[in-house]
Amino acid sequence: MKHYALILFVAAAAFSGCVTQKEYQELEEQKKYYESEAQVADSLRNEYNKVAEENRQLEIEFRNTRLDLEQYVVTNKSLQNSYLALLERVEGLKKDRNELDITASYEKYNLERQLSDQQLNIDESRKRQEGLEYELYQKDNRLNTIEYDYANIKGALADRNIRIQELEQMLNTKEANMKDVREGLDLMMSRFSSSDLSVEDRNGKLYLSLSSNLLFPSGSTRIDAEGQRALRELANTLKSNPDIDIVVEGHTDSDGDALANWNLSVDRAVAVTNLLVSYGINPERITAAGRGEYLPKAPNNTAFGKSLNRRTEIIISPKLDELYQYLGGQ
């Protein structure tokens, strides 16, 4: 997930300098959308744990209720047996009624009272049994409903996990591609001076900086032989990996007119872009942009600082079209 958020942030940052505001906003909306999707996945996991705990508690209550019901059934049977025994005793006493009238009447009264109490106990037990049976029925229905909801949530969570794994696989592939590009650039740099060519890895992108001395004569947009050799090696490194996007940015120092510097930076970026395309880079993957004097690497108050600012930067980033299409199709 953090890879995904990082890539979206990088994508927004990468294109903010050379795309329209509408496209920038669309990228921001894609970022917010997936962050929301990640929060929904976390919420589903929490709901899944909560439902599982409720399910466990209901199962405990279900077992306890069933045990209570079984105990009441046993008690009820015992009371019924006592009731039958008392009826038998009454019949026996009736046979002896003529001989033991007073005693029998007294015993009959006591026995009838006991029988009445026993009957009341039986009725109360029956009512409690019916109440427990109804409660058990309700809990059984609730348990079935929770099990159904649990299955649905579990299925939704499984689908989310599959989607996250697919996104992580896509991001891992793009990271591997960028690693291959970096290795190719490191090999290329070994054949040029570090003052003419350098590479930085920032926020998931590669920033390849080529000095103005390497590419252009002073004030010119014509690329000299050594610059052509460097760009040819760069094209050979990049064209074997189609899963990247390339932005060519022209930069100047602050000497002279700002508008002239801007136009010069644009023309140099276009010249580099055209040469890379002629060396085999797919033009659909490459964008040219002029920055003039407005993104310096160093202060323009020294000759050394100005030399650092007179440069062409080639920004290499993962191609995100496939990722956006995947997100848009979900």
Q: What is the pLDDT of residues 37-56, one digit of tens each?
A: 888 888 888 888 888 888 88
Percent over 90 (pLDDT), the chain: 35
Whether pLDDT at 300 is above 60: yes
Domains of the chain: 2-177 (1.10.287), 191-328 (3.30.1330.60)
AA letter at 325: Q
User: 102 or 259: whose pLDDT is higher?
Assistant: 259
Give the DSSP letter string of 221-278: ----HHHHHHHHHHHHHHTT--SEEEEEEEE--SSS-HHHHHHHHHHHHHHHHHHHHH
Q: Report the run of H or E that residue 311 belongs to, with start and end.
A: strand 311-318
Rounded Cα distance between 25 and 30, Å, is 9
Radius of gyration of the chain (CA): 42
Cα distances (angstroms) measured from residue 96 to each of 104, 189, 218 = 7, 124, 139
Mean pLDDT score of the chain, rounded to an integer?
A: 84
> Which range, 10-14, 27-31, 243-247, is most confident?
243-247
Residues 248, 208: Cα–Cα separation, whole Å: 10
In this prediction, residues 259-286 reach a mean pLDDT of 96
Q: Residue with structure tokens 């100047």?
A: 252
Q: Label residue 164 exposed, middle or buried (CB < 10 Å: 0-12, 13-18, 19+).
A: middle
One-letter amino acid at 13 equals A
Instruction: Please give the average per-residue pLDDT across 23-41, as a whole number.
Output: 84
d(CA 87, CA 102): 20
| Amino acid 6: pLDDT | 47
What is the rounded CA–CA span in Å between residue 88 and residue 94?
10
| 112 in Cβ contact with 151 (< 8 Å) | no
User: Global pTM?
Assistant: 0.51
CA distances (Å), origin 312, targets 217, 294, 318: 13, 13, 20
DSSP alpha helix (H) spans, the chain: 2-15, 21-95, 101-189, 212-215, 225-238, 258-278, 303-309, 321-328
148: number of Cβ within 10 Å: 10
